[in-house]
A and B are shown apart, each in its own frame.
Chain A
Amino acid sequence: MPEVSQQPRQPAELPPVGREVPLAGFRTLLYKEVLRFWKVAFQTVAAPVLNAVLFLLIFAHVLDRHVTGYGEVDYTAFLVPGLAMMSLLQNAFANSSSSLIQSKITGNIVFVLLPPLSYREFYSAYVIASVLRGLFVGAGVLLVSIPFVHLPLAHPLWILAFGVLGGAFLGSLGVIAGIQADKFDQLAAFQNFLIMPLTMLSGVFYSIHSLPPLWQDVSHANPFFYMIDGFRYGFFGQSDVSPWLSLAVVGFCFVALAVLTLAMLARGYKLRA
């Protein structure tokens, strides 16, 4: 072994490495989060698209003559945007929540906690990556549905607005769930007892006008209903409620959740003990 250094050395000037790039931390975390799901796209994109197509084949066949959508709109056509949005929302949630809990359980969360990333950069990177995964899956469902159904595109910007805002809402919810859960089964409970019922009961498979008045009222308390309804408006130019009302509700929910999530991250809740 070498000899002991008894005295501190006069520190040498350490030359900088590479070049400093503005917002490189945020951009790298976003890139890493996108790469993380893209590297396993078969599982994170292709599998949910297949699930949605199976729903489409079965539900369209079984319910086509029994369930009404919007007036003269064919039920299968009515169903496709709902399935696309449901998949988008579920996968946006899955992306941030699973990434965070995996990192927490394996311990590699330290790799993003040690660098000089702000909590806003942390939040933005996880949520934007979630939105992107959601959009990939949603677009995949729509593309695969082309042979089965003709879909009009009445207001594409509304489609994009609800897709992005809904994905961001679920991405934020995923950040909260990923931070809050300590074990995979806690995250599964979040997914099975909150996300799944709220998406399934949001009018994906039916127009809420076909429900009894009580259930219509209950549906109006579900923010997922406004995401699906607004998203569908973009295709058909028809919806159960005004798209502006849906936009206001979804926008408000997203902002409220973003403030809550940012407050948790700023405090270092469960991440910086």
Chain B
Amino acid sequence: MNPLLDQFLSEGRDFLQSIGERLLQLEEAPGDSALMNELFRLVHTLKGNSGLFDLPEMTRVLHAAEDLMDAVRDGRIPFDRPLADCLLEAMDFVATLIDEIAEAPGDAPPSTAHHASDALRLGETLRSLLQDRARSADGADPAEEEPPAPPERPEAGASDARPSALDPIDLPEPLRADLIRRLEAGGSFCWLRYEPEEECFFKGEDPVHQMLQLGDPLWCRLESREDWPPLAELDAYRCLLRFEAILDTTPERLAEHFRYVPDQVRFEPLSQEILTAATAAEGGPASTSDRAFSAEAEWSFDLVLEAQREILALSDTPPWLDGRLRAVAASLSAAFASVGRESEIEGLEPALQAAIETRSPTPLFAWLAARHPQPHAGRATAPDDDTGGGSDRIAAAPAPGEPTSISSSDPEESIRFGRRAEDQLTSPRTLKVDQVKIDRLMNLIGEMVVAKNALPYLAGRAEEVFGVRELAREIKAQYGVINRIAEEMQDAIMQVRMMPVSFVFQRFPRLVRDIAHKLGKEVRLVMEGESTEADKNIIEALADPLVHIVRNSLDHGLETPEARQAAGKPREGRLSILARQESDRVLIEIADDGSGIDPDRIRRKAYERGLIDEAELERLTDQEAINLVFAAGFSTAEQVSDLSGRGVGMDVVRNAIARVNGSIDLRSQVGRGTTLRLSLPLSMAVTNVMIVESAGQRFGVPMDAVAETVRVARSDIRTIKRRRTTMLRGRLIPLLALNDLLALDAEQIANDDDELAVLVVRVDQEYLGIVVDDCRETIDIILKPLAGFLGGLTGYAGSALLGDGSVLLVFNPRELI
């Protein structure tokens, strides 16, 4: 099933649910116009959505419902019970269709043509309601108005479509004879009349084409419904044609063929009766079916009576005996009436009374025996051969009786159609869950991970403190199992939270089009990898920065068509947005082929704004200059436009990305274009941190910031301009003591060889050494942001619980320095 249809079905169910609720609420408060508007909007949207698919039946009914609601909304007709009933029935019909489509295998929505007659009938009911009400609202006494008859059952609708006696077709005699002969030989033919509506040409229909597609007719007639006016007044675009044909086809195929215009066609299978009826004017179909039921009906009648007999033969006396007796009496009365023996029912009522009074079935038994002696063995059902299982028989008995009572061609259809919302058969496959619940689940799993991490500590204690090595090993084995399950759980919940980046991307085509239009630029947007997935929080955090970047590209990056042509580039600029997954990160690349960023201009601007001094102006490499666009308060735009140039620019973008542990990389070549590469974690839930020790405390450092850990001999540390530095593989690394950064009043402790532990972190492509007392293991933690008063401490990314119950503060190297 394609995703669009899937979404339509799941949304459709939601809509129907809401529509149902609103309708019920409206019954309580018919005057509530806000509610009515809401209802109208829901139906309108659902109708619009259904139009995306090839579902004319659904659209037709919804369209009629929409018209009706529109009239109610405008106050042209009042809202009341019968109207609500009709609308509810229409919605049940739509629900039936939706269920059917959802259950169908395959990709494309199945044809729902077999519901065409129901759709037609419902549509007409709704429309007639609209007209009746409108008239009665205009006219005198609405009290006289009878509530509209409840819509007929579908089987009635089907037989209603029977053309009124097929107005004796004056078929040529040889053809008639031929048809009768071929019908006898088992052929199937249909008579069809198609009267396209007058405006059909304006809807792009071509009735001739429709008819030609049906293949060669055995007989055809084409005439006008009215006399043609004089040529000068003829309106060629008002369709007045009437097509009639006899075709070698089935009604199902015709229904399918004309499914968009079911109200304009009538067809029915040809039978010998119809053909002969045309000759023998008065011999209606009634004569043919006169005694047709007798054999079958008699058999069913016997079965019903037999079942009643069995019920009466039950010897127990349950508290519901009265009800059982009444039921038997009702069944008997109905059975006798159905075979035309109404006169015999008279004695039944006294027998029933007597039976109830005596609390015994005997009087009824006697009555039945008098009217219908026990049939002998050898009838349709041999009663002797089944000794037990009376209830089975009762359940099975009525089934063959169906043809007499229901004339519908498809009884299953009517059963399904009649169902209401409360006996929903299929449950939807997708769940909509409040995000809070998912978050709670994730928090719980987080705690589980923490609790799980306590097991190795326990194992350690078992061995070291209590000296039970055996137990320690068993705890570790158990830990392995729990660890695996916890990881799988974590993975599963991550999957739930995953969203495709298309959630953000989908707004770009429109955005790019509008902005390009406003700026008079020609832009082609290329998007790839929309299905790449990442955690919901990440995706949401991405939305605003991406919009900003795209705007920047359009505003500053891409040139006007004229400028592009002058530069020897195609008039149309190209903006590409690509997303892909690389190990545990999502990469998003936004590239344009515009003018690029001129480093000299950036240098000058930055200098003018006082962001850099003269020395830096000389020293900055081009790449460093380009990165200046990320500096706070930087803007190159000469003018503040409504698109960009307010100075809240790329620094905001960078911070937003950094907040979700992402990084941003900007490359640009003058005249060739600019590429921005965002790298984001797939998920924020679990953070891998390295534990370091300093001044007797433990701290965490996010692993993605850690480049390496080294031991540096104190003698290798040089002080340059009062800052400590060291050479590491030919690179000069500035060193900062963690105790100084955190204002802890202690010296960093060196190891026995007088070497200091240095954590080399990478901040914005620059390396920096942080001197700590010791580096420890790395662990996975659930990072909780600091909240409340501590929330203002930007130096820390958050805190986490460790397996031994202590709290670990995780610092944020970028902010700390």
Binding between chains A and B: no
